[in-house]
Amino acid sequence: MDGSIVENPVSALVDDRMDEGMFRVDRSVYTDEDIFEQEIAKIFEKSWIFLCHENQVEKHGDYFWTEIGRQPVFVHRQDDGSLKCFINACSHRAAILTPFRQGNAKTLTCRFHGWSYKCDGACIGIKNEEPDTDKSTFDLREIARLDSYGGFVFGSLSADVPSLDDWLGEAKSWIDLMVVQSTEGLEVVPGSPIYAIDGNWKFQAENSVDGYHVSTVHRVFANTIAAREGKGEYTGIKKTEAGRMAGGVPTGSYDLGNGHMAVWAQHTTPEVRPIWEQKERLERDLTPAQVDWILNKGRNLYIFPNVMLMDNPSTQIRVMKPISASRMDVSVYCIAPKGESDTARAGRLRKFEDFYLTAGMATSDDLAALEDTQEGSLATGAKWNEFTRGMDSIIYGPDKEAAALGFNPPVCTENWDHEIHYHGFYRQWLKMLEEN
The interface mask with other proteins, positions 227-246, x = CB under 8 A, is: xx--x-x-------------
243 Cβ neighbours under 8 A, 6+ residues apart: 222, 249, 267, 268, 269
Q: Which is nearer to other proteins, 168 or 370 (CB)?
A: 370
224 is an interface residue for other proteins by CB under 8 A: yes
In our burial notation (b when 16+ CB lie closer than 10 A, e otherwise), range 383-420 reads: eebebebbbeeebeebeebbeebebebbbbbbbbbbbb
Binding other proteins (rule: CB under 8 A), the pick from 94, 95, 194, 403 is: 194
Binding other proteins (rule: CB under 8 A), the pick from 357, 411, 412, 433 is: 357
Rounded Cα distance between 196 and 330, Å, is 6
Smallest separation, CB 309 to other proteins (Å): 17
365 is an interface residue for other proteins by CB under 8 A: yes
Task: Evaluate whether 269 touches 275 at the Cβ level (below 8 Å).
Answer: no
From the list 174, 183, 151, the residue with the least C-alpha distance to 280 is 183
The interface mask with other proteins, positions 304-343, x = CB under 8 A, is: -------------------------x----x-------x-
Task: Evaluate whether 237 touches 272 at the Cβ level (below 8 Å).
Answer: yes
367 is an interface residue for other proteins by CB under 8 A: yes
Q: Which is nearer to other proteins, 201 or 264 (CB)?
A: 201
Task: Evaluate whether 433 touches 425 at the Cβ level (below 8 Å).
Answer: no
Q: Is the dihedral of CA 10, 16, 17, 19 positive or negative?
A: negative
Q: Which is nearer to other proteins, 221 or 429 (CB)?
A: 221
Rounded Cα distance between 108 and 105, Å, is 6
Stretch that binds other proteins, among 52-60, 87-95, 163-171, 363-371 (CB under 8 A): 363-371
Q: Which is nearer to other proteins, 361 or 394 (CB)?
A: 361
The DSSP annotation for 354-402 comes to: HHSSTTSSSHHHHHHHHHHHHHHTT-TTS-EEE--TTGGG-EES--HHH
379 is an interface residue for other proteins by CB under 8 A: no
Binding other proteins (rule: CB under 8 A), the pick from 15, 45, 120, 371 is: 371
Residues that bind other proteins (CB under 8 A): 100-103, 189-196, 198, 217, 219-221, 223-225, 227-228, 231, 233, 329, 334, 342, 345-346, 349-350, 352-353, 357-361, 364-369, 371-372
